[in-house]
Structure 1
Amino acid sequence: MQALDWTVLIGTLAAIVGYGTWKTRGSKNAEDYIRGGSTTKWWTIGLSVMATQASAITFLSTTGQAFSDGMGFVQFYFGVPIAMVIICMVFIPLYHKLKVYTAYEFLENRFDLKTRSLTAILFLIQRGLAAGITIFAPAIILSIVLGWNLVTLNIIIGVLVIIYTVSGGTKAVSVTQKQQMFVIFAGMFAALFITLDLIPDDISFTSALDIAGASGRMEVLDFSFDLDNRYTIWTGIIGGSFLALSYFGTDQSQVQRYLSGKSVKEMRWGMMFNGLLKVPMQFFILLVGIMVFVFYQFNPAPLNFIDASTEKVLASEYSDEYKTLQEKQAVLFEKKKTVSLQLAKSYNDADKKNLLRLDSIEKTYRAESKYLIKRTIDPEYSADYDKLSAEVLALAKNPKSEEYIAKKAELKTLYKSSAKDSETNDRDYMFISFILKYLPHGLIGLLLAVILSAAMSSTASEINALATITSIDLYKRNLKEEKDDAHYVKATKMFTLGWGIVAIIIACFASLAENLIQLVNIIGSIFYGNVLGIFLLAFFFKKIKGNAVFTGALITQVLVIGIWYIDIMPFLWLNLVGCVLVILLATILQMTQRKVV
């Protein structure tokens, strides 16, 4: 990075933090601080809702997802427009009528205090974890790519967010998110156009899409009913709808965004704005990842995008094996480049099949590189693998035996696990590596500002919501002595500071999953279905009482965690399972209770 990049990066972040702090100074009552004074316009609501979702993980992981697997991930968001319609029809009018500060206040009116408290606690657990991940995700990637200290980065991101969120509350989050979304859109459009410009002149945009399609990256819709496939149109519409309903309808980090609206009309317009733009926005981000993939068909790509991991393996006993892989990939690249150029000139089935075959070979090389890196950084893994390999070899004389088949499957599982390690899984590092190596200075600073702005916008919404729930649903509700507005504003500020510190601590002790955006969605799916079911019981099942709901929710949460742990279905279906389970269990429990509460 050069001085121009640092100037753009620091200037952009300082402007956002400074503007948010100045614009919302002086919030003295709970209505202003927690609900933003109920004056927010629809476009601010829409942008704020989008910014809350658009964390740094969105840009780093989604582009990496497209690079590795293609456009199919967009199906995950197909349920969002459906959820927006239901939320506009059911949730928003009810919340506005009750003039609630949080979504969970309604649950006490409908059920009882313990059900309200349980739901609030479930939210605090999952959103507290997610807040740490939204800080950690960009921090660990930037620390490895730029050589910055990870803990220092976690603290910098967290402190920047705390400054304006503590100062101005909900209104500060909303007004800064408008600026952050402007930076995000500007940066991503610039990245797309520069990437297209870097692709050879004789490769048109249409030809680039053809090349991506020939490599299997443009398969948007999957109508299969395969439960092993995480992303199909069915998981997106059904599982995605339930996830979106729970997220936008019951997650305080989202509910708080539209509760600040000036009227029901403004709230509805804001949410429909989000519903209409969410799928195109994700499609666009995936398209950026696709164009980077096409760029690497004409420019050499590393076997692993984490330079530090590559350096480790090249300095290890596996150096020769890794260099051999690099040489194979270099030869493969020249073949892919030739076929890609031929395909661009005259699209035909023979070149398409050839490119798909070459892409499959490259994926094998990448998997082998991850395996070697894993062996380098984890001696225990290496010993386990060697031992298991020897056992498989000894049993190979009888390849049809159950023992041989079981051991071979165990070896395959161990081999695949190497791809999930934080220093071997480079999917989330692809985009930032591309930015630093190929984009012009100034734009590098802007795109780093995009990543950090996205991290700040999501984290601000999360700690703002966490503080509100803690203050209103737990602290205020259980405080016997009546206090004035100024007391609760001060208490909420302290809780905001506290949750900001908790998020930084979680970030400092977090570790990478197979894919960060999946990790966030997995955490949400474990809790959201149960929470949504509780709200649906409150809305539509008038005969179900508090005790049945409370007990059913506890049992459901244990069952959902168990289902996720043994991994019997894609995580998106957990939203539907959790919702249905709590409704069924609460109904059965209510019917079996002798005394109606």
Structure 2
Amino acid sequence: MGFSFIDYLVIVVYLAGVAFLGLKSSGKQSSNKDYFLGGDGIPWWAVLFSIVATETSTLTFISIPAVAYGGNLTFLQITVGYVIGRIFVALFFLPKYYEGDLYTAYTFLERRFGAAMRNAASSTFMITRLLADGVRLFATAIPLAIILRLGGAFRGWGDLELYIISICVITGITLIYTFFGGIKAVVWMDFVQMIVYIGGAFIAIGVLIGNMPSGFELPAEKLDIINLGFDMTFREFIAQPYTLITAIVGGAVFSLASHGTDQLLVQRVLATRNLRSGQKAMIWSGILAMLQFGLFLGIGLLLFMFYEGVSAGAMGLATTDEIFAKFIVEELPMGISGLIVAALFAAAMSSLSSSLNSLASSTTYDLYKPYFGKNNTDAEDLSISRKITMGWGVILTVSAIFFAVLQLQGGERPAIVELGLGIASYTYGGLLGAFLLGMFSTKPDKTDAIIGFFTGLIALLFMVQGPIQDLLPGDGLAIAWPLYTLVGSSIVVLTGLISNWVRAFGNE
């Protein structure tokens, strides 16, 4: 059917509406407490939807269906771990964060280990968000590049140029309400945009079911949910991300790190300003996220049936990540395509706005105020925070363009969702290990924590498939991405405890 003028109009009206509603929902901002924590607090149910919308992004909308299209439903095993991890965060991490007036998750590390540990953790968080959100922004560019290519408005332009246009449009619109509105605008627009993109997903399901070709049966293995992996060798087992043990344990530890130590999501919970409310938002977000992943995996199976299992290459696509976008552009009725793409933009903007706000809060409170802004007035702090937000918008745009260049090069490409989660999982190990060391052991000091933190980060380099491992003799021991956080955090805690024991023994 192709993309029509009506579809373009729907997208333009939606983007303009998002900017307007975001500004209207923000309220008056007079201090950084208003800007980063929503003043007197935000309802827990709004924060619940904001958490899920924040972690969803375009990766879920585009790449999770691609996971099911190219594989099966074993990804769902990880979501069980996500729920377990969030329950642990709610019971053990959140009470620590509500003991005092914390503006960022890393203030806890400063109180336990000193400013150096806080700075290391905060900087690691920023690098993680810079890389992972660069991938997310690039993922948004995939369907828009296809739309512009098929629409003919930019005939003769290459994919990279079309990706750059998409990235700049999304960042520009999101910056408008994030810059002026702060966390209130972010949370309330997350709530609205989650309704939009979930609604868009159900519309796509309805169209798929109504136009399913006859005579094609879904292979039974596509419905596999559990993979025990007991028939594999040890080396194969730890390298496979979707076996039951790896998925549940790795998913639980990943969720423990992402929702317990990442300012992107911790900031949402702190905005409730109440421990009980924060715990409800945290636990229910895991259940809702599990249902959401199931929804998008189901779309992937429906797409497999609709296209009768044809490979992405046979359809002229670069990766399976483009299959859902192809369906949206070519198969949906006039106006509906525009609505679905608007829903996709909703997913992208909810994640980007949250990243911008959390990066700005961490930069302001962990790196700027302790050294340069101790005597600032509320108005000066607010002005600086907005400028920092704008700066991060530019930096994330450049990061997304960088990943666009990498992904457009030749060679086998991973599913974008796995690339994004893999990047986050790598640095989460160090962060989680430092928090566990501080929360559950009283003996290690700042020296032990820093030694353990960087040992964990460096050690993982030799266990992740990549340039460092390629330099090792023989076959390196590669581990699956869900295990990055588990292994990394274990190394941090063990190294920190050993360091404390050695230093204490040497002082006797």
**Normalised by the size of structure 1, how large is the TM-score?**
0.76
The equivalent position to 1:464 in structure 2, one of 341, 357, 366, is 357
Name the residue aligned to 2:256: 245
Name the residue aligned to 1:28: 30
Paired residues, number: 470
The separation in 2 between residues aligned to 1:129 and 1:480, in whole angstroms, is 28
The separation in 1 between residues aligned to 2:225 and 2:373, in whole angstroms, is 55
Name the residue aligned to 2:389: 496
Name the residue aligned to 2:112: 110
Name the residue aligned to 2:293: 282
8 Å contact kept, 2:78–2:251: yes
8 Å contact kept, 2:146–2:326: no
The separation in 2 between residues aligned to 1:177 and 1:38, in whole angstroms, is 19
1:585–1:302 distance in 2 versus 1, CA, 3 Å: closer
Gaps of 5+ in 2: 155-161, 231-236, 408-412, 470-476
The secondary structure found in structure 2 opposite 1:98 is coil
Name the residue aligned to 1:484: 377
Name the residue aligned to 1:222: 227
Name the residue aligned to 2:402: 509
Name the residue aligned to 1:553: 453
The separation in 2 between residues aligned to 1:17 and 1:235, in whole angstroms, is 41
The separation in 1 between residues aligned to 2:443 and 2:431, in whole angstroms, is 19
Name the residue aligned to 2:434: 534
8 Å contact kept, 2:62–2:321: yes
The separation in 1 between residues aligned to 2:439 and 2:380, in whole angstroms, is 33
The equivalent position to 2:334 in structure 1, one of 430, 436, 441, is 441
Q: Could you tell me which amino acid in structure 1 is paired with residue 197 of structure 2?
A: I
2:99 counterpart of 1:189: no
The separation in 1 between residues aligned to 2:293 and 2:209, in whole angstroms, is 18
Deviation at 1:3, TM superposition (A): 2.3
**Cα displacement string for residues 393-433 of structure 1 (whole angstroms, at most 9, x for unaligned residues):** xxxxxxxxxxxxxxxxxxxxxxxxxxxxxxx4x21100010
The secondary structure found in structure 2 opposite 1:478 is coil
Q: Could you tell me which amino acid in structure 2 is paired with residue 110 of structure 1?
A: R
8 Å contact kept, 1:305–1:429: no
Deviation at 1:7, TM superposition (A): 2.3
Structure 1 stretches of at least 4 aligned residues deviating more than 6 Å after TM superposition: none
The separation in 1 between residues aligned to 2:341 and 2:227, in whole angstroms, is 34
2:178 counterpart of 1:165: yes
**Cα displacement string for residues 568-591 of structure 1 (whole angstroms, at most 9, x for unaligned residues):** 111211111111100010111111
Q: Could you tell me which amino acid in structure 2 is paired with residue 124 of structure 1?
A: M
8 Å contact kept, 1:17–1:176: no
Q: Could you tell me which amino acid in structure 1 is paired with residue 118 of structure 2?
A: R
Deviation at 1:150, TM superposition (A): 2.1
Deviation at 1:479, TM superposition (A): 2.4
Q: Could you tell me which amino acid in structure 2 is paired with residue 432 of structure 1?
A: A
Name the residue aligned to 1:399: none
With 154-163 and 138-147 compared, the bigger mean Cα shift is at 138-147
The separation in 2 between residues aligned to 1:137 and 1:305, in whole angstroms, is 19
Q: Could you tell me which amino acid in structure 2 is paired with residue 571 of structure 1?
A: W
1:303–1:586 distance in 2 versus 1, CA, 3 Å: closer
The separation in 2 between residues aligned to 1:498 and 1:131, in whole angstroms, is 15
Map 1:125-524 to 2 at 5 A: 125-147=127-149, 149-200=162-213, 211-214=217-220, 216-225=221-230, 226-297=237-308, 303-306=313-316, 424=318, 426-479=319-372, 481-510=374-403, 511-512=406-407, 513-524=413-424
The separation in 2 between residues aligned to 1:213 and 1:588, in whole angstroms, is 51
Deviation at 1:305, TM superposition (A): 3.9
Deviation at 1:480, TM superposition (A): 6.5
1:196–1:481 distance in 2 versus 1, CA, 3 Å: closer
The secondary structure found in structure 1 opposite 2:225 is coil
User: Percent of pairs identical after alignment?
Assistant: 30
The separation in 2 between residues aligned to 1:113 and 1:10, in whole angstroms, is 46
The secondary structure found in structure 2 opposite 1:477 is coil
Q: Could you tell me which amino acid in structure 2 is paired with residue 219 of structure 1?
A: D
The separation in 1 between residues aligned to 2:460 and 2:313, in whole angstroms, is 38
The secondary structure found in structure 2 opposite 1:544 is coil
1:25–1:296 distance in 2 versus 1, CA, 3 Å: same
The separation in 2 between residues aligned to 1:266 and 1:31, in whole angstroms, is 18
8 Å contact kept, 2:373–2:381: no
Q: Could you tell me which amino acid in structure 1 is paired with residue 257 of structure 2?
A: S
Name the residue aligned to 1:339: none
Q: Could you tell me which amino acid in structure 2 is paired with residue 525 of structure 1?
A: S
Name the residue aligned to 1:579: 489
Gaps of 5+ in 1: 308-423
**Cα displacement string for residues 329-375 of structure 1 (whole angstroms, at most 9, x for unaligned residues):** xxxxxxxxxxxxxxxxxxxxxxxxxxxxxxxxxxxxxxxxxxxxxxx
**Cα displacement string for residues 294-338 of structure 1 (whole angstroms, at most 9, x for unaligned residues):** 11229x77744446xxxxxxxxxxxxxxxxxxxxxxxxxxxxxxx
With 551-560 and 586-595 compared, the bigger mean Cα shift is at 586-595
The secondary structure found in structure 1 opposite 2:239 is coil
The separation in 2 between residues aligned to 1:297 and 1:213, in whole angstroms, is 11
8 Å contact kept, 2:425–2:484: yes
8 Å contact kept, 1:134–1:455: yes
**Cα displacement string for residues 485-522 of structure 1 (whole angstroms, at most 9, x for unaligned residues):** 22211111111100000001111221324211011111
Q: Could you tell me which amino acid in structure 2 is paired with residue 561 of structure 1?
A: L
**Cα displacement string for residues 78-135 of structure 1 (whole angstroms, at most 9, x for unaligned residues):** 2111112111111222212222010000111111110111011111111111222221
The separation in 2 between residues aligned to 1:301 and 1:581, in whole angstroms, is 41
The separation in 2 between residues aligned to 1:63 and 1:52, in whole angstroms, is 18
The secondary structure found in structure 1 opposite 2:9 is helix
The separation in 1 between residues aligned to 2:373 and 2:80, in whole angstroms, is 46
Name the residue aligned to 1:385: none
Q: Could you tell me which amino acid in structure 1 is paired with residue 165 of structure 2?
A: T
2:499 counterpart of 1:589: yes
Deviation at 1:481, TM superposition (A): 4.2
Q: Could you tell me which amino acid in structure 2 is paired with residue 36 of structure 1?
A: G
The secondary structure found in structure 2 opposite 1:39 is coil
The separation in 1 between residues aligned to 2:312 and 2:128, in whole angstroms, is 36
8 Å contact kept, 2:80–2:290: yes
Name the residue aligned to 2:474: none
**Cα displacement string for residues 196-233 of structure 1 (whole angstroms, at most 9, x for unaligned residues):** 01114x78xxxx8xx3243x211011112422322122
The secondary structure found in structure 2 opposite 1:212 is coil
The separation in 2 between residues aligned to 1:127 and 1:304, in whole angstroms, is 35
1:556–1:515 distance in 2 versus 1, CA, 3 Å: same
Name the residue aligned to 1:415: none
**Normalised by the size of structure 2, how large is the TM-score?**
0.89
Q: Could you tell me which amino acid in structure 2 is paired with residue 261 of structure 1?
A: T
8 Å contact kept, 2:250–2:485: yes
